[in-house]
Structure 1
Amino acid sequence: MTKLWSTAEVPSQAGRVAIVTGANTGIGFPTAQVLAQRGATVVLAVRDLEKGKRAAAAIAGTAPGAQVVVQRLDLTSLDSVREAAGELRDSFERIDLLINNAGVMYTPKQLTQDGFELQFGTNHLGHFAFTGLLVDRLTETPGARIVTVASIAHNIRAAIHFDDLQWSRSYDRVAAYGQSKLANLMFTYELARRLSAHGSPALALAAHPGISMTELMRNSPAVFRLGMSLFGRLFTQPAEQGALPTLRAATDPAAVTGQYYGPNGFRELRGAPVAVRSSRQSRDEDLQRRLWAESERLTGVIFPV
């Protein structure tokens, strides 16, 4: 029988610097916690500094001697993204791991500070810009990885609406979330290809947590929340389990660029982390390139690869 991958498989991270966005809650917290327990210097890149400090203290309590740093990062503001990236570049000569984990889900119609639809602006454009501003540090660091957290929702009523990326004409919060998660995968695949073409050994990978019970679910449609209350034990998993695909993408020595990890159970809802396959649409290289160009235009961040 094949051994199931668990946190016991995470190798030593001593000497490595890992940045995890949204690490004060959800699957980001156990992701950061395990990396710190394995010896990494972990940066909790969070919007709320007080919550970040409490999370850092909780992690330090389970990982004696761990180096846990809190960095303010508001992905709904490109000014904040640029400020955070600049401060991190000043603080660290090397960055080994960037885990683009933070996100919002099924929110009512709102705009970011830069006028982007909130889910697309936070989940995709904020992380796109943040990665672009740090990517040269990663390409200079041997063994570096960029892991972006996607979702099985990239299959649910999802498309990249190039004619109305910001949903200004009408708004469907489920479809808007699907667009943002589809964009996460397209970004990962295009980044992996560009890094390889650039001759960089840095890896770009993606992961999804299945259905994990976190506060991200708070804006879900009522019928979905009802289903989870009735059948949640059958189809969901705790945040610690949901973090495993991200941790495998970030640390498994056998992982290769462009890989996508998710749970191995029924419809990838829960289970142990394995390599999975995303939708055909997500792997359309023409769409990936078009989204990349539009993302550079919208954010003003041009990647050096």
Structure 2
Amino acid sequence: MAAAISSPPSERVAVVTGGNKGIGLEVCRQLASNGVTVILTARDEARGAAAVEQLTAAAGLSDVIFHQLEVTDARSIARLTGFLKERFGKLDILVNNAAIGGVQRLPVQDLSAEKFSGMDARQRAEWMWKNCRETCDAAKAGIQTNYYGTKNVTEALLPLLQASSDGRIVNVSSDFGLLSHFINEELKQELNDVEKLTEERLDEVLAMFLNDFEAGEVEARGWPSAFAAYKVAKAAMNAYSRVLARRHPALRVNCAHPGYVKTDMTRHSGLLTPEEGASNVVKVALLPEGGPTGAFFALGQEAPFV
């Protein structure tokens, strides 16, 4: 028999993937500060538990709970789903934040804040690009985590989101996922045609990309260049979000670009603090009831997918 639901139905419950550091940790803190019960998830149990302890001790937030989650592991997703079903019987907010860079990073000696002084966003991104390299293994891992990890968590939690009176999904995206990065106009138009696009077609597109990547034909085929796997995965996730919004009009399904944030993923080369980046995500998570769905938000403001 399932355990009794221990929280009042009116209490909002949120899950944040990749919540133990950076933007994810700040999203957890800001949601909890707004009276939301937050399930902070992370791959590593020790780091996840330490993050919850940090929020509890430093910020005095008692409604943050840790649960292990590896977004590429079906059994881990199933355990989280079972926990939420037994403990709460619903889910109000899902923030899909967990992501990886999709590249192999090269060793760097100096990562002090002074290193980036006087550099604009383009120069900082170029520095990041010069200090990494794209490999087939890294590209495959990027697609698996950033697209399929997000999709599989979302699909597993959909029934709990539908049990909420105001279920919403926020997929943490990036301006790197904009379709303007695609040179192939036919592919760009197809990914932007939400009326016809299907999840099956997205699977085919991602398989095509990985085949072209392995063949060394990324640029020749009109895919994005520089951080190609990250850009393609985020573009596919954006497209999936729009398909999902059409399939489930009662839910709010949106994408949020937090900005260029100082995190481990950007090697702290960003322009915004994690607090600032997270606020751009939380703003979308806490939009008024009946707000936009199937939309892209950049720095907290609705913007085009292209």
TM-score normalized by structure 2?
Answer: 0.70
Which one of the candidate residues 247, 252, 256 is aligned to 1:194?
247
Question: Given the superposition, is the C-alpha separation of residues 57 and 105 from structure 1 closer, same or farther in structure 2, using an over 3 Å criterion?
Answer: same
Q: CA deviation at 1:110?
A: 6.4
Cα deviation digits, residues 138-185 of structure 1 (max 9, x gap): 011101101101101113745744424474444877111101110121
Cα deviation digits, residues 218-252 of structure 1 (max 9, x gap): 3xxxxxx8xx4xxx6xxx11111111221111002
1:127 equivalenced with 2:150 (yes/no): yes
Partner of 2:65: 69
Query: Is the partner of 1:19 in helix, strand or coil?
Result: strand
Q: CA deviation at 1:57?
A: 1.2
Distance 1:211 1:173 in 2: 16
1:238 equivalenced with 2:273 (yes/no): yes
How is 1:112-151 mapped onto 2 (pairs within 5 angstroms)?
117-151=140-174
Counterpart amino acid of 1:188?
A: S
What 5-or-longer segments of structure 2 have no aligned partner?
1-9, 105-134, 188-204, 219-224
Query: Is the partner of 1:179 in helix, strand or coil?
Result: helix
When structure 1 is superposed on structure 2, of 53-62 and 135-144 the one drifting more is 53-62
Cα deviation digits, residues 58-113 of structure 1 (max 9, x gap): 1123543521111111123233223332333333211110000110014234659x
Q: CA deviation at 1:256?
A: 1.3
What count of residue pairs does the alignment treat as equivalent? 236
Partner of 1:35: 31
Counterpart amino acid of 1:142?
A: S
Query: Is the partner of 1:215 in helix, strand or coil?
Result: coil
Distance 2:52 2:275 in 1: 17
Counterpart amino acid of 1:189?
A: R
Query: Is the partner of 1:42 in helix, strand or coil?
Result: strand
Which one of the candidate residues 258, 264, 279 is aligned to 1:215?
264
Counterpart amino acid of 1:179?
A: V
Partner of 1:50: 46
Distance 1:117 1:81 in 2: 20
Query: Is the partner of 1:117 in helix, strand or coil?
Result: helix
Question: Given the superposition, is the C-alpha separation of residues 129 and 104 from structure 1 closer, same or farther in structure 2, using an over 3 Å criterion?
Answer: same
Distance 2:76 2:168 in 1: 23
Distance 1:65 1:148 in 2: 24
Counterpart amino acid of 2:294?
A: G
1:258 equivalenced with 2:294 (yes/no): yes
Counterpart amino acid of 1:39?
A: G
Question: Given the superposition, is the C-alpha separation of residues 206 and 174 from structure 1 closer, same or farther in structure 2, using an over 3 Å criterion?
Answer: same
Question: Given the superposition, is the C-alpha separation of residues 81 and 65 from structure 1 closer, same or farther in structure 2, using an over 3 Å criterion?
Answer: closer
Give % identity.
29
Partner of 1:249: 284
Counterpart amino acid of 1:149?
A: V
1:275 equivalenced with 2:302 (yes/no): yes
TM-score normalized by structure 1?
Answer: 0.71
Distance 1:110 1:61 in 2: 42
When structure 1 is superposed on structure 2, of 50-59 and 169-178 the one drifting more is 169-178
Q: CA deviation at 1:15?
A: 1.3
When structure 1 is superposed on structure 2, of 163-172 and 136-145 the one drifting more is 163-172
Q: CA deviation at 1:38?
A: 1.6
Distance 1:169 1:161 in 2: 14
Distance 1:207 1:164 in 2: 24
Counterpart amino acid of 2:302?
A: A
Distance 2:34 2:78 in 1: 29
For the 8 Å contact 2:71–2:152, the answer to whether it is kept is: no
Question: Given the superposition, is the C-alpha separation of residues 189 and 64 from structure 1 closer, same or farther in structure 2, using an over 3 Å criterion?
Answer: same
Partner of 1:7: none
